[in-house]
Amino acid sequence: MGENLGGYFGKQLRISLDTKETSVEEIDSAVLKKYLGGVGYGARVLYDEIEKGIDPLSADNKIIFATSPLTANNIPGGGSIMLCFKSPLTHVWGESRCGGDFGPDLRRAGFDALIIEGKAAEPVFLVINDDDVALRPAGHMAGEKVTGKIAKIRDELNDPKISVMCIGPAGEKLVKIATVMSEHRAAGRCGAGAVMGSKNLMGIAVKGSHQAKVAHPEKMKTAIKNAMNIILESETAAGFKEHGTPGDMGPNDAAGDWPTKNWHSNSWGKGEELYDKFFEHHLVKNNGCYRGCPIACGRIADVKAGKFQTPAHEGSEYESLSAFTAFVLNENIEAAIHSTYLCNEYGIDTISAGALIAFAMESYENGILTKKDIADMDLRWGNPDVLPELVRMISLREGIGDILAEGVKAASEKIGKGSEEFAIHGKGLEAPAHDPRSGKALAVTYGTASRGLCHIQPLEGMAYDSGKLDWGLTAYGIPDPNSVERWDEKGKGQIVKVLQDGLVLPDILNTCKFFMYAGITLDNLAELLSASTGWDIKGRDLLEVGERVLNLQRLFNMREGLSRKDDILPERIKQKPAFGFYEKENQCAIKDFEGMLNEYYEARKWDIKTGMPSKEKLKELGLEEL
């Protein structure tokens, strides 16, 4: 272990499913100092422990559940767990965050990380209760939806409060967009559920009674108080609490940040109306994803009657509702609520599901998918009735759903006939509900994000460009966003480099990204981390850790065969919108993506032709051995 650090347990739990062996291992303090936790530590484990070119659905893949010293219920934003794995959807770096109590409870069990490897001969679920670790038979849970699995696990353990993460039927069937669920919270992107399903691991239950020793308790109290005061005074935090993420539907629509009709446009004009229907008729209450969350942005929603009747549940968030409204031109908010509920129950990613349905609708519109291909379903744009049925078919790999379950890239390659034009993705990951035609920094983020076309790796670039947020990073070299034109392209590559380095820290420290919207900065995170660990760490030090982690993820991807040719945007995203508020706004179009990419590579000190980090940069970051 080496140096005894505060804030960490210095231990990880390794589960080898094929041999049924469990082992507790010490973690080198030097590694923890270098990568901190979360996706930083997960990236180092994956890079070191899995071979180049492995099948993501083979026993050779591993999935890491990683925490950090800030994974705790009393830390503002501290209720997260980060899952790291090689993605079966993209075949490169995969990560997914899930809010809730699972992360803090894994820490209470006395572990900084959980590593799952191998494949069980029969379905099992894992139980962790402090030092008591066991694998239990789970064949009787096969086919159960998420709520049913969680109930059965808790019933068998006679513990209604134990934290559980599990897969749904989609994960069992190796659907490439399958999620790992904690209640109605999802580790949603990149197919983590398929990785668990490939290992015959149905779920994980965890609880514990330990508490990591904080190096400076009084300084920690002060740091928490300072962070809480920022949040409690934040208008952004108050807005999240009142409206949740669905409250962005109207403003984003107006700002040209709402991808519509499979990215033919960046606005629709119906965002505010759809949100009003949701808020007035279907919102039950707000909810925090973990115990003690001061923002509580989650939405409990229901549909009380009718063909889309849906029980009260959490999950109707901005991305999910957008995927089942604007993506597919559906104006029925009840159908969208019901569809997101079904995604959570079957265990599939709402963003990818909506994108796949939009792809199928456009393929049908163009005669590429025929009535025979889709079992005589009506796949016309805006048809609400087909949405829940397609969610079910994708989740269970039935009919056309079996092809769509492979993800939009693979589905378009199999269908062919020009359908590739309608497959909107980056590195194989379906596009989310934010549009770089609202601000060009997002275009660079989309092209270069480690896990593919992703708006939250590290954070929404358009929030800098059009939202004029700086997250305190003007102190570290980016221009004041108020001095930057959102549609300008020059300078955005350099800006995105700093944004990524700084805003990946919530994924490294397992804190909720929304707290940085509410005013938490790298300096606040450094204050919390210093008090916990006993280090003297500053915001500038965290920025360097962020850069190190992103370069390590880049090395992982390049080892898997990616290069500059994969840092691209779909052509449709670059084009001026075909309709909507910005139809005649020529500045929306992305004119020189390659120029922005060159600028980004130069800022990163990556090779301009290949995108490979330079030896000079790797040495600077302490990665020269890689």
Q: Which parts of 363-463 are beta strand (E)?
A: 425-426, 429-430
pLDDT category of residue 123 using cuts at 50, 70 and 90: very high
581 occurs within a structural domain = yes
Q: What single-letter DSSP state applies at residue 453?
A: S
pLDDT digits (tens, 9 = 90+) for 518-530: 999 999 999 999 9
CA distance 179 to 164: 14
Q: Are residues 360 and 443 in the same domain?
A: no
CB 413 within 8 A of CB 176: no
Q: Give the mean pLDDT of 24-39.
A: 97
H-helix segments, 370-428: 386-396, 400-404, 408-415
CA distance 609 to 614: 12
1 occurs within a structural domain = no
- The CA-atom distances, in angstroms, between 538 and each of 424, 525, 527, 572 are 40, 9, 7, 42
Q: Are residues 424 and 440 in the same domain?
A: no
Q: Residue 528: enclosing H or E segment and its boundaries?
A: helix 522-533
Residue 75 has a CB neighbour count (10 Å cut-off) of: 28
Q: What single-letter DSSP state applies at residue 179?
A: -
Q: Are residues 179 and 283 in the same domain?
A: no
Q: Are residues 407 and 446 in the same domain?
A: no
pLDDT digits (tens, 9 = 90+) for 545-564: 999 999 999 999 999 999 99
Residue 420 has pLDDT above 90, yes or no: yes
Q: Residue 182: what pLDDT?
A: 96
The full DSSP string for 83-119 is EEEE-TTTSSEEEEEEESSHHHHHHHTT-SEEEEES-
Buried b (16+ CB within 10 A) or exposed e, 303-334: beeeebebeebbbbbbbbbbbbbbbbbbebbb
Q: What single-letter DSSP state applies at residue 79?
A: -
Q: Are residues 411 and 508 in the same domain?
A: no
How many Å is the maximal CA-CA distance in the chain?
68
Strand order in the sheet with 283-287: 283-287, 298-303, 310-314
Q: Are residues 306 and 440 in the same domain?
A: no
Domain boundary, last residue among 409, 430, 451: 430
pLDDT digits (tens, 9 = 90+) for 257-288: 999 999 999 999 999 999 999 999 999 999 99
H-helix segments, 209-261: 217-232, 235-243, 249-254
Establish whether the linkage from the previous residue to 458 is cis, with ω within 30° of 0: yes
What crossing angle do the helices spanning 593-604 and 492-503 adopt, rounded to 10°? 50
Q: Residue 4: what pLDDT?
A: 64
Q: Residue 457: what pLDDT?
A: 80
Q: Are residues 404 and 503 in the same domain?
A: no
Q: Which residues contact 427 (CB under 8 A, 6 or more apart)?
A: 90, 92, 451, 452, 453, 562, 566
pLDDT category of residue 216 using cuts at 50, 70 and 90: very high
Return the CATH number at 588: 1.10.599.10
Domain boundary, last residue among 178, 207, 236: 207
626 occurs within a structural domain = no
Torsion sign, CA atoms 277, 281, 282, 285: positive
151 occurs within a structural domain = yes
CA distance 621 to 626: 11
Q: Are residues 460 and 606 in the same domain?
A: yes
CB 622 within 8 A of CB 34: yes
* Structural domain for 293, as ranges: 254-430
CB 13 within 8 A of CB 22: yes
pLDDT category of residue 3 using cuts at 50, 70 and 90: low
Return the CATH number at 172: 3.60.9.10
Nearest to 40 by CA among 541, 619, 514, 617: 541
pLDDT digits (tens, 9 = 90+) for 311-343: 999 989 999 999 999 999 999 999 999 999 999
Q: What single-letter DSSP state applies at residue 336?
A: H
Amino acid at 387: L
For the chain, how many structural domains are there in total? 3
249 occurs within a structural domain = no
pLDDT category of residue 2 using cuts at 50, 70 and 90: very low
Residue 118 has pLDDT above 70, yes or no: yes
Q: Are residues 422 and 444 in the same domain?
A: no
Domain boundary, last residue among 375, 406, 430: 430
